Structure 1
Amino acid sequence: MFLRRYGEMLFLWVAAAVIALFPHRVLVQLLGAALIGFASEIIGVRYGVPYGAYHYTPTLGASVGGVPLAMVAAWFVLLSYAWQRASGLTRSLWTARLLAALLMVAFDLLIDPVAIGPMKLWVWQESGPYYGVPLVNFFGWFAVSYVSLLFVRAPLPSDYRAAHLVGVAVLTFFVVLALRNGLLAAASVGAVLIGVDVLCSWRCWQQYFAAAVKRVELLLRLR
């Protein structure tokens, strides 16, 4: 009964805790970015901007300003994963912010249909063309994600596994739920995200092994 009632909330907090268990200085900045995302939702619930008019159900537990505290954990998990992936693809922080913000929009294309459908986490007061989600929501996600990441001043290394593994677990969870409930477009977005993750991971492993081979060759020459 407890897990049935609070399972979604616990899932978010546990996911955030797993990332935080492996400390890195950039995580403090990402937590700040998550708090900006949380604050934007308080504004969103009250005034309908920048996401459109919506409200949360009681499913995620205690709230501030109509927004569940668990959403701090949700923003932290998603931003950590998006930033780790994006900052591993480019040396430019500005480009990384752009890529991470686009990745956050892709997340929402997967998550929102599941959240308002089978999970019943929030309700849109004005229906939109994508599973009932208004298009302005996705523009809001991009804008808030980009602005929040302006406060993140360093990359999250590709070898920081916690953010990566937790992010993939969250993606897989929502893809499975989307498939089980016939949300095929949302599930397809999630499948593409997982595919992109696999390609990025393969690139990182190639770079890692190439660097390892160079170190071994250098040691052999020194001998």
Structure 2
Amino acid sequence: MDRAAVERRLDDLVRENRFTIAVVFPAVGAVLLLASAEGLVPEPLAFQPTLVLFGTLVMRLPLIAGVSPLVDRRAAAAVLALTAYAYGIEFVGVNTGWPYGGFEYGIDLGPMLAGEVPVGLPVFFLPLVLNSYLLVLLSLGDAARRRAVRLLATLATVLAVDLVLDPGAVALGFWAYDAGGAYYGVPLSNYAGWVLSGAVAVACFDVAFDHAALVVRLRDCSFMLDDLVSFVLLWGLINAFYANAVPVLVAAGFLLALLRTDEFDAAVLRRPVERLGGR
């Protein structure tokens, strides 16, 4: 089977299971994570690392399927370079406290590399940046043709993503900052670190992909940003449980931004309503 055939099969798999991937998985994931944090899940199953990594990979499938036809040698090299960079800066961060501020993992997020950094780190981090990049391309339209505009807008979007992610992760106990922080236990230094790591990742993705080709693919691929829907549901629910009001509002802002773009197919969000109506 050639690459094109594999890509078509992956497209079909994701398209036929959009609701399960983009809605059911994050909703069930949020319940399991919250139950684990609250001691309602037996110890062997609480925050089960393989399950955490598997669930994350499933929710990434729409993005993987959407982007894969555009991955050439240049894009593949950029992703490999970013993977190495992500591991490197995380190792530095865990051992020195730079650039995010002193922190340590409280839960193994899948297998741990050298016992310090999750092996699945690129699966957790890189899609957040790429989703932000794609959302900016859709939201800004013609303005996104200017490199400076799309880079700065994407970096701001990446920071907004972490305004949702980090408070929820800290509340669950995924990781903790040594000195705490003013923003739901997260220090401002963390966001300064994200400016650095995010800027590098955004610049690499901008070099790796033809942004015009990405826009065309976004228009043709109805599910390409479903991974962002999963992110909003998963971390929105977790933050809502812990009454983290600002992260919930930011998560809702992402959802509204998606719904305002003509290219995003919101059918995956309408399906529960249609089911209730007997359709």
Q: Give the TM bin, normalised by the shorter chain.
A: 0.7 to 0.9
CA distance in 2, matches of 1:64, 1:99: 33
Name 2:21's counterpart in structure 1: none
1:1-223 to 2 correspondences below 5 Å:
2=45, 5-6=48-49, 7-22=51-66, 23-26=68-71, 28=76, 29-30=78-79, 32-65=81-114, 66-88=116-138, 89=140, 90-117=144-171, 119-152=172-205, 153=207, 154-155=210-211, 156-157=214-215, 158-159=218-219, 160-199=221-260, 201-202=261-262, 204=263
Give percent identity, aligned residues only.
20
TM-score (norm 1): 0.80
Unaligned runs of 5+ in 1: 206-223
Name 2:36's counterpart in structure 1: none
Name 2:41's counterpart in structure 1: none
Letter in 2 for 1:55: E
CA shift in 2, pair 1:51/1:9, >3 Å:
same
* 3-state DSSP of counterpart to 1:24: helix
Residues 100-157 of structure 1: per-residue CA shift (max 9 Å, x gap): 111111111111111011x221111121100111101112112211112222222232
Q: Is the 8 A contact 1:33 1:149 kept in 2?
A: no
CA distance in 2, matches of 1:34, 1:107: 19
* 3-state DSSP of counterpart to 1:114: helix
CA distance in 2, matches of 1:98, 1:34: 22
CA distance in 2, matches of 1:102, 1:183: 20
Deviation at 1:35, TM superposition (A): 4.3
Q: Is the 8 A contact 1:50 1:140 kept in 2?
A: yes
* 3-state DSSP of counterpart to 1:55: strand
- Which fold has the larger relative contact order, with Cα–Cα distance below 8 Å and residues 6 or more apart in sequence? 2
CA shift in 2, pair 1:24/1:46, >3 Å:
farther
Unaligned runs of 5+ in 2: 1-43, 265-279
Q: Is the 8 A contact 2:60 2:127 kept in 1?
A: yes
